[in-house]
Chain A
């Protein structure tokens, strides 16, 4: 199992801050994000255990995955 945390405006749409998943790849995970379509989830930036991840990443049991909307400036 992995723990998935959502940040950015996507989180306001998803309505949850985190959830658990058994997905092993990003492609599987995109289908499971609550409140978001697969297309919307695909446009979130993935980070695994604090590091930016590529599309081909494979999750390990216990990984913490962050999905984040692109941000901007302040």
Chain B
């Protein structure tokens, strides 16, 4: 059943492939659903909501692996090459969504698809080729066991032999870790990674090594003339902005190591401390001065936050902030060159650097405390590449580490320093000096994720500098930021475009009276933010600093004032929460490890811990959730989540 769309930006087709039966058919997704659930992770959540009842497991025939794009993917809007992968996470048992740059999203749309829904398990390893709606499932015995870059090269060679030439295409694949179902395996596309939540393990369980997509379909833009003008203006704005035009292009995300150190939020020694004496040796500044060769960006991205470094004569992707911190200060390791190698190795094996580093740091501390004698120690990191291999191939101690820190702490003890939420390990920010992010980690639908958590650190010292330890205003601000980021992600854009939301003068002049005034007042504006959260429709206009809404209108032809944009984000966030409720998520699962809520980071500062109970109370109230931390029936109906469910 083909359900074409009247809206621009969409290809009007979602394809479903059952790997057990090898059956391909269209998945119905109507324009009414597009209006409500937009695309990307929210579109995927809607499909999961209509197909899962909460009894399904990650490694089962009933699970779905959904690769989805947004209406702006491939539209030419800045940083709009993103695609999303959603599934039941083997790490958490709940819904995960992982967002990725590169070019696969663009080529999936060139093939005529908005999304690909995969289910079932092939009897033998396979890879899928999609070319202009035509789907072929190929044998992947020769690819099985290859590392991620080898796999992508081999695929190009296979396509060249088959077609006589290599047509332009996008690829996703797994490495050995995914094949061995390491619970935090990632999916790799070029050098970019959909890292979090273990979607690579689900792909491995399906016996699916890779997907290639390409074609010559065009993304229709509803108002091309105005979109072109708007895009030019937006590119100029991003280029001029201090974050998207200066800090991110010049230092990349590693540029945050130093400010995190100064704000005491640099996760150090498995989050025991917030500062690291040798932070400069692993900083973005040293990376830029000594190792960075060139800045790279995804398709149509003016920000170009990615680093390219040279190791042993080979040019490879440099580490992101998370990797740098967790493999650096997290291990008490100041060897930047080693981190560059390890980052490359982890991508090649198909392991999520964040969960992998956190799990090893947990094991180091467990060994130090004598509850699990495993030979791993902080500062002693000589055998790391071998350890990563063992994890990816599930050999020896690697087989244990492949399960993640939650399961290990249940087996060996030390839950208080197993730094995960809902089973997924935390990002690199130590939240006792960024308590808003602490709340975000705890309530995030995905588990311990900074981005799905609302990323309040950008207010708590890394952009602006509001009080890092107060709970005032943080619940309402977290909700607003989560909803905005949810929608940006759903449209197919990079979250980094949202940083230009902060007026340049506040960032260019951090010591000016007006910036200091904003920093002082913002935490006490919770009630104002609450009004925006509760009645976003009052913002029936476009904001000059938020270009996303106009771009959405010009591409799709749908009306999308700022307030409606926020409401769509709220719908997406609640949809995932409601979906997670079916799998048993409630307030009892919105918890942080004891270390972060009970132990003071600074023994002289009684505020240096996350006041999670207070934060959650305000947050649930702001969201309109009940005491169990769940969306009420009324809210679900108001957001049109309930009426639209097919079940």
Contact = CB atoms under 8 A, between A and B. Distances in A.
Tell which of A8, A12, A46, A74 has the most Cβ of chain B within 10 Å: A74
Nearest to B248: A72
Interface string B479-519: 00000000000000001100100000001111100000000
A69 B284 CA distance: 13
A68 interface: yes
B258 A7 contact: yes
Contacts of B499: 72-73
Interface residues of A, number: 23
A21 B247 CA distance: 27
B259 A71 contact: yes
A1 interface: no
Contacts of B254: 74
B262 A47 contact: yes
A12 B509 CA distance: 18
B463 A7 contact: no
A74 B463 contact: no
A42 interface: yes
Contacts of B462: 71-73
Interface in B208-260: 242-244, 246-248, 250-256, 258-259
B243 A45 contact: no
Contacts of B247: 8-9, 69-72
Contacts of B280: 5, 17
B455 interface: yes
A12 B254 CA distance: 14
B472 to A, nearest CB: 19
Contacts of B510: 43, 45, 70
B403 interface: no
B458 A8 contact: no
A71 B256 contact: yes
A73 B243 contact: yes
User: B-side binding surface: helix, strand, loop or mixed?
Assistant: helix
A68 B285 contact: no
A31 interface: no
B457 interface: yes
A51 B79 CA distance: 36
A12 B250 contact: yes
Given A9-B246, A9-B250, A17-B285, A73 B496 contact: yes
A66 interface: yes
Given A73-B463, A74-B253, A55 B246 contact: no
Nearest to A51: B262
B463 A43 contact: no
A38 interface: no
Contact of A50 (B248, B251, B262): B262
B243 A43 contact: no
Interface string B451-479: 00001011000110100000000000000
Contacts of B285: 7-8, 11-12, 17
Interface string B298-320: 00000000000000000000001
Contact of A43 (B244, B255, B455, B511): B511
A70 B507 contact: yes
Contacts of A73: 243, 253, 256, 455, 457-458, 462-463, 495-496, 499
Interface string A37-74: 00000110111001010010000000000101111111
Nearest to A71: B259
Question: Considering the complex of A and B, which 6 residue pairs feature the smallest CB-CB distances, nearest first?
Answer: A74-B253, A72-B243, A7-B258, A71-B259, A74-B321, A73-B458
18 contacts: A7-B283, A8-B251, A8-B258, A9-B246, A9-B250, A9-B251, A11-B285, A12-B250, A12-B289, A17-B285, A17-B289, A52-B262, A52-B465, A71-B243, A72-B499, A73-B243, A73-B455, A73-B463
Interface of A: 5, 7-9, 11-12, 17, 42-43, 45-47, 50, 52, 55, 66, 68-74
Given A7-B262, A71-B259, A74-B322, 5 more contacts: A8-B251, A12-B250, A17-B289, A43-B508, A45-B511
